[in-house]
Structure 1
Amino acid sequence: MPHSRSASLDARRIAVAVAPALIAAAVVLSVFLSVQDRLPGRMAVHIGDGGRADGFSGQGSFLATALGVLVGDGVVFGGLALWIRPNPGVQRVLAAIGGAVAVLTGWLVTAVLLANTDVSDAATVTLPGTQAALAFGAAALYAAVGWAACGTAQETETVSGPSAQAPRLTLGDAETAGWTQVTGSRVLPVTGALILAAGIVVCVTTGWAPALPLLLTGTPMTVLTSARVTADRRGITVTPSLVPWPRLNVPLERITEAGHRTVNPLRDFGGWGYRARPGASGIVLRTGDAISARLTTGSEFVVTVDDAATAAALLNTLADRERRTSAGG
């Protein structure tokens, strides 16, 4: 039953993302064919400041571009909604955004077509600002309706945790052990550097005030791109490699069982860094092997890092010892 419900929600979200693009493409094509003989050969295709035309194109080019954008919107957002099924929260956002973009695009393209109708000189074409307001209003309305239609993220849709037969390391009662690895991201430092560079350019050309959001965003993305992951008697500890803070710790008493699995940041968590979604959270810096700890709350905590299987086995052994000690065994 949960699987059937999940499949039904997947199909609904994909439809929310794709249907507006196909409908908008059909409407644009229908309107174009109905007014084609009343359109100028050189159409106004971009309306600039003041509501007057400042960009022009032939009829065929305009239609091909409009249909290409609409169909491309459906393909891209529908494909993303399909690919990101393990993350229902992000899937829902993508579906609502994709449908809203199609509504906005279809409305504006249709408005431009009608504005060109019965015009002898495309340079005289105007488009009232109310059309843009109506287009954004329709897109916002569809986003709200689509968001509701997508349903809520269900716990049954989350990725399952580690195997019930999780491995242990052989460790004597008097022995102690620790495991540590450094993990990093290739995406975050590049993205952070680009944002910082943009912030510096804006600061030089415009001033520090508009550059501040870029600098505040780019700096942590550049600095917090690698982390040291430690598994020992304290549980799982993740600390940035370059600075001592912020440090995240999941103590042993909160860990029911540990395992490892492959994690894809975008598909499973919707991005990189510290991520959270219904039923799961963690530090996700790259695609690949990850420690997967099932917590006493029933949720999952993951950290992408090499040799996650060894860390998980050690955590299971230490967690068992912690439970025996707490029970007085």
Structure 2
Amino acid sequence: MSGIRRRALVVLLTHLLAAEAGLAAFLHLRDRLPTRLAIHFDGERADGFCDRTAFLVVALALPAALAAVFAALSALRRVPPAHRRGLAAIGSSLSGLFGYFLVATLCANADVTDAAAVRMPAWHVAAGLGAAAVTGGTGWLLGGGDAPPAHPGGPAGPVVRLPLADGESAVWTHVIGSRALPFTALGTLALAVPLGFLAGPLTAVVLIVIGLPLAALSRLRVTVDRRGLTLASTALPRPRLTIPTERILDASRRDIGAWRDFGGWGYRAVPGASGLVLRSGEALSVRLTTGGEFVVTVDDAATAAALLNTLAARARTAAGA
């Protein structure tokens, strides 16, 4: 069985088990359930209710809908192979979470005459997450993986060197950025203050922790010099990444698709390759001595690659001298 079919089958089976668990619990407890069931809780107290028929419909329909969505996503060929297995694991984890709370909600309602009196202790959250971890891990293990492509993106260009005289040095630098990230970062940080007052300081801290890295990644300077390839934020001292010339085999220009080859934007990693992908199109591709590839989407990548090849060759010559 192919990896695509296996992942879809795993997701479908885990959600089928969740629906069966809910149905079995309902049939077992049917005579002990009140006409109106408590289905939502604020803290431990019930604040949302529905009748038994509606509960049963949701218990069967929602797993079916989730199974269909995640089975399709985990099998979609446009999704990078490295991400299909993760989607299967996420879909399977939701089946464990939903299945647990189906059964726990029914058990909490059993032998209660007034649904408003139903309580759901906080420890059920930890138990539900534990069930999600088990089914998610099962989905990950059984989902397997696909053979990684030899190279993401289009074919690499020729390995070209920039001619430099003995003792001559050169530096190439270019600023890259994303049009969407600055607005996303600004919006996230702007929400930290009002939501901090309304929902508490923890919410503000979470938004700041999310917003600052987005701001740092919104504009980066890419530099090629005798030290190697360096990526650094133009706004903050960190993040900063340097690949020394000693770790570089060669460099070239290639075309990549952000979603097709790396599953999205930002700092990405797929089997055999990683890099900073802020858009689709022209990219600097660096083959490393470890056998991997690092890419960064940047204009004038051919010039950067040619200089990097020259400097890496110099470093190898100096190391062998």
TM-score class normalised by the smaller sequence: 0.7 to 0.9
Q: CA deviation at 1:317?
A: 5.1
1:298 has 2:291 as partner: yes
Which of 80, 91, 100 pairs up with 1:98? 91
Q: Output the CA distance in 2 between the equivalents of 1:236 and 1:16.
A: 42
Change (3 A) 1:263 1:53: same
Residue 245 of structure 2 corresponds to: 252
Q: Output the CA distance in 1 between the equivalents of 2:56 and 2:221.
A: 54
Question: After alignment, is 25-34 or 240-249 more displaced?
Answer: 25-34
- Segments of 5+ residues of structure 2 without an aligned counterpart are none
Change (3 A) 1:54 1:248: closer
Q: CA RMSD in A?
A: 4.2
One-letter identity of the residue aligned with 1:290: A
Residue 142 of structure 1 corresponds to: 135
Change (3 A) 1:234 1:128: closer
Deviations along 1:153-204, whole A, 9 cap, x unmatched?
79x6265268576242664657866543322124533443343233323544
Contact kept in structure 1, 2:151 and 2:272, CA below 8 Å: no
Contact kept in structure 1, 2:156 and 2:285, CA below 8 Å: no
Q: Output the CA distance in 2 between the equivalents of 1:267 and 1:79.
A: 19
- The share of aligned pairs that are identical, in percent, is 42
Contact kept in structure 2, 1:18 and 1:98, CA below 8 Å: no
Residue 157 of structure 1 corresponds to: 148
Normalised TM-score (structure 1): 0.72
Q: Map 1:82-231; keep pairs closer than 5 Å.
A: 82-83=75-76, 86=80, 88=82, 91-113=84-106, 122-123=115-116, 125=118, 134-150=127-143, 157=148, 160=151, 163=155, 166-168=158-160, 171=163, 173=165, 178-204=171-197, 211-231=204-224
- Count the aligned residue pairs: 317
Q: Output the CA distance in 2 between the equivalents of 1:143 and 1:208.
A: 31
Q: Output the CA distance in 2 between the equivalents of 1:186 and 1:15.
A: 39
Q: Output the CA distance in 2 between the equivalents of 1:150 and 1:215.
A: 35
Residue 45 of structure 1 corresponds to: 39
One-letter identity of the residue aligned with 1:224: L
Q: Output the CA distance in 2 between the equivalents of 1:126 and 1:235.
A: 61
Contact kept in structure 2, 1:44 and 1:125, CA below 8 Å: yes
Change (3 A) 1:283 1:21: same
Contact kept in structure 2, 1:263 and 1:290, CA below 8 Å: no
Matched residue SS, 2:160: coil
Change (3 A) 1:223 1:170: closer
Contact kept in structure 2, 1:100 and 1:142, CA below 8 Å: yes
1:62 has 2:55 as partner: yes
Change (3 A) 1:56 1:86: same
Change (3 A) 1:242 1:121: closer
Contact kept in structure 1, 2:66 and 2:91, CA below 8 Å: yes
One-letter identity of the residue aligned with 1:168: V
Deviations along 1:201-224, whole A, 9 cap, x unmatched?
354457767644543442232233
